[in-house]
Structure 1
Amino acid sequence: MKYTLLWKPILKLVLRELFIAILLLLGVSLLIFSILHFAPGDPLHIFINIQTQNPEDIAAIKRELGLDRGIAVQYLSWLNNLIRGNFGNSFRTGKPVFSELIKVGMNTLILTIGSLIVTLLIAVPIAVVSSLRRRPFLSWGLTLFAYILSALPVFWLGYIAIYIFTKKFNLFPFLSAGAASGSKINWIYFLLPIIVLGIGNGSISEIIRHMRTQLERVLSEDYIKAAKAKGASIWRHSFKEGILIPVTTMIAAKIPFMLGGAVVVEQVFNWPGMGRLAWQASLDRDYPVIMGITIFAAVVVHLGRLSQTIVYAFVNPQASEKGESA
């Protein structure tokens, strides 16, 4: 009954977040579009040698790609197509951008979500143990170990992992995700990049600090002390504010960093994901692909923020009724 009364304030929060998302998408897309067109380089080098090609041929290709129009006209045309669900075609391959994003986007989502799970599996237990302070030496040792892991550069960790587990002991195959013949080999291949990004994204120490601070605050509350005195489980009373809210907040905050780290990991492991596609598109000045990746990344980031808002509204109904968010 309590949760059925929350749909109105939650709907209000969701609508507000969607409105903010639309404004952010417009702002980000306009900024990236302008940077691409003012940056040095030209996508025409994909098709022709500009120095030796006939000027008439160059002008014809520009007209075909729509590059002969002003930047404002090009942006409005791209935006109009986007609203209709058309991301355009890649300059390099000629294929629809949306189909290319779907093909590689799932690989990047697997990498990002899997690495988030690995990060939480390491950070949450350490934060819980250190907040209890029952074994200070164990807590200190685990925290120090986590801080050392967080300091390791992800590309360095990736190359070390490839050398040890792929070349030295041959435990993991170094293949493209779609090239493995069996599903078992595919999943084994997925595992190493996920673990490397989960450890080397630099978020473990920050999540531990944030969760430990929140848990120590919650465990010092009077209602927790009263529950403990009555013999009740302190975790049942402290789970929402001490674990659920901090974890959700950190996940939403770390999604952009995970996507950024995925670009590096995909290059190191030859992972056929969106990071490698973005790298190749930036080299080719493939404007439609870069813009499609920009929109995809912005949507994923804001979905994380939206999930954080919804969880916080359920955990803290009073704040949601006032229109607050985490």
Structure 2
Amino acid sequence: MKLAAVKPIALVLTRELALTALLLLGVSLVVFVILYLAPGDPFSVLLEGQAAGQEARAGIREALGVPQTWYIQYLSWLGNLLRGNFGTSMRSGLPVFGEVVRVGPSTLYLTLGSMLVALLIAVPLALRSSLRGPSMLTWPLTMLVYLVSALPVFWLGYVVIYVFIHKLGVFPLMSRVSASPERAWLYSLLPICVLGVGNGLVSEAVRYLREEMSRVLADDYIRTARAKGASVWRHAFKEGFLIPMTEIIASKIPFILGGAVIVEQVFNWPGMGRMAWQAAQDRDFPVIMAIAIVAATFVRLGSLLQRVVYVAVNPRASQEARAPGGAE
């Protein structure tokens, strides 16, 4: 790759990474303040079964070295974070970083698998509709996709469990933790498919890809290429497919992560969503803060991927990136 092509991408990466750092700082501050102002006391978790008086709470604060004022607590947490220390779980007493690393791959596996399922359904439908128009096959399938995507994820999960596990017995009744390695993938299919089709990604991808591809195919340069006998797909791929697909993926990452919390609860999936739910019940501040930072990082990475792809395949965007204060 030529240096002229790499330079705009490097500039976009630099700007986006700087913006990511500022956004993560803002997210951490907002989440910390919300947790601090929320009713209840997280230290009562450590006094479960005991009389949680003011003296007992003060003793725990002093033993843990927790400051009284919220801004001192936040600065202390932020300083530890910059050193790679997410703190210690107030419930388990284990390092939060190790807990997140333990369950993180399961959530990553679930979310990436659901994206793959959604795109395997959405891309053929969108391409077929945009290239050939609605047909007796694509129209009913598209309506079915819209209907399923509109269903609540938790309801769809319970229906799938009832039908495929209890009634038909197609899938085993077990958790991913208790499943043997050779059967763990079989248990994973249900939550991955539910999250893939039930969070709106499929319907949004079908609609957006179809509209963008139809718009690009109607452009004059595509008509010229078709008249000359050139490959229409080669000319329309970048603007009509690649850019819209990365845009829809980046925009749906927050919804996928939010849906993962529900799906992990329904299917007893040992991931960050389930950990976040339990931490919220226990008011485990360090765990909640760590998961919020990790989730915000994934959202920004999706946005970063979209920006890099857009600059890489769009010459006009490359010129804007080279300009001082290039347009976002």
Write the letter of the residue equivalent to 1:301. Answer: V
Q: Is 1:286 equivalent to 2:258 in the alignment? A: no
Given that 2:44 and 2:57 are in contact with CA atoms closer than 8 Å, whether structure 1 keeps it comes out as no
Please state how far the C-alpha of 1:274 moved relative to its aligned partner.
0.5
Which residue number in structure 2 is paired with residue 263 of structure 1?
261
- Alpha-carbon spacing, 1:215–1:66, altered in 2? closer, same or farther (3 Å): same
Q: Distance in 2 between matches of 1:39 and 1:30?
A: 14
Write the letter of the residue equivalent to 2:140. Answer: G
Structure 2 counterparts to residues 32-71 of structure 1, below 5 A: 32-49=31-48, 52-53=51-52, 55-71=54-70
Given that 1:90 and 1:96 are in contact with CA atoms closer than 8 Å, whether structure 2 keeps it comes out as yes
Please state how far the C-alpha of 1:318 moved relative to its aligned partner.
2.4
Which residue number in structure 2 is paired with residue 18 of structure 1?
17
- Alpha-carbon spacing, 1:54–1:256, altered in 2? closer, same or farther (3 Å): closer
Q: Is 1:196 equivalent to 2:205 in the alignment? A: no
Please state how far the C-alpha of 1:133 moved relative to its aligned partner.
3.6
Which residue number in structure 1 is paired with residue 179 of structure 2?
180
- Alpha-carbon spacing, 1:30–1:55, altered in 2? closer, same or farther (3 Å): closer
Please state how far the C-alpha of 1:325 moved relative to its aligned partner.
6.9
Please state how far the C-alpha of 1:174 moved relative to its aligned partner.
3.1
- Per the normalisation by structure 2, the TM-score is 0.94
Write the letter of the residue equivalent to 1:201. Answer: N
Please state how far the C-alpha of 1:142 moved relative to its aligned partner.
2.5
Please state how far the C-alpha of 1:8 moved relative to its aligned partner.
1.4
Given that 1:44 and 1:50 are in contact with CA atoms closer than 8 Å, whether structure 2 keeps it comes out as no
Q: Distance in 2 between matches of 1:35 and 1:128?
A: 44
Corresponding residue SS for 1:93: coil
Gaps of 5+ in 1: none
Which residue number in structure 2 is paired with residue 82 of structure 1?
81
Residue number among 235, 240, 243 corresponding to 1:242 in the alignment: 240
**CA deviation map 1:160-185 (0-9, x unaligned):** 1111111112222232322212x221
Q: Distance in 2 between matches of 1:124 and 1:16?
A: 31
- Alpha-carbon spacing, 1:325–1:159, altered in 2? closer, same or farther (3 Å): farther
Corresponding residue SS for 2:137: helix
Bigger shift: residues 309-318 or 51-60? 51-60
Which residue number in structure 2 is paired with residue 163 of structure 1?
162
Gaps of 5+ in 2: none
Structure 2 counterparts to residues 109-258 of structure 1, below 5 A: 109-181=108-180, 183-258=181-256
**CA deviation map 1:76-99 (0-9, x unaligned):** 000000000000000001100000
Write the letter of the residue equivalent to 1:213. Answer: E
Q: Is 1:313 equivalent to 2:272 in the alignment? A: no
Q: Distance in 1 between matches of 2:178 and 2:48?
A: 34
What is the CA RMSD across the aligned residues, in angstroms? 1.7
Q: Distance in 1 between matches of 2:173 and 2:87?
A: 33
Q: Distance in 2 between matches of 1:280 and 1:18?
A: 31
Q: Distance in 2 between matches of 1:54 and 1:237?
A: 71
Query: Identity of paired residues, percent?
Result: 56
Q: Distance in 1 between matches of 2:297 and 2:163?
A: 36
Bigger shift: residues 69-78 or 171-180? 171-180
Q: Distance in 2 between matches of 1:106 and 1:235?
A: 36
- Alpha-carbon spacing, 1:53–1:147, altered in 2? closer, same or farther (3 Å): closer
Q: Distance in 1 between matches of 2:327 and 2:275?
A: 35
Bigger shift: residues 162-171 or 285-294? 162-171
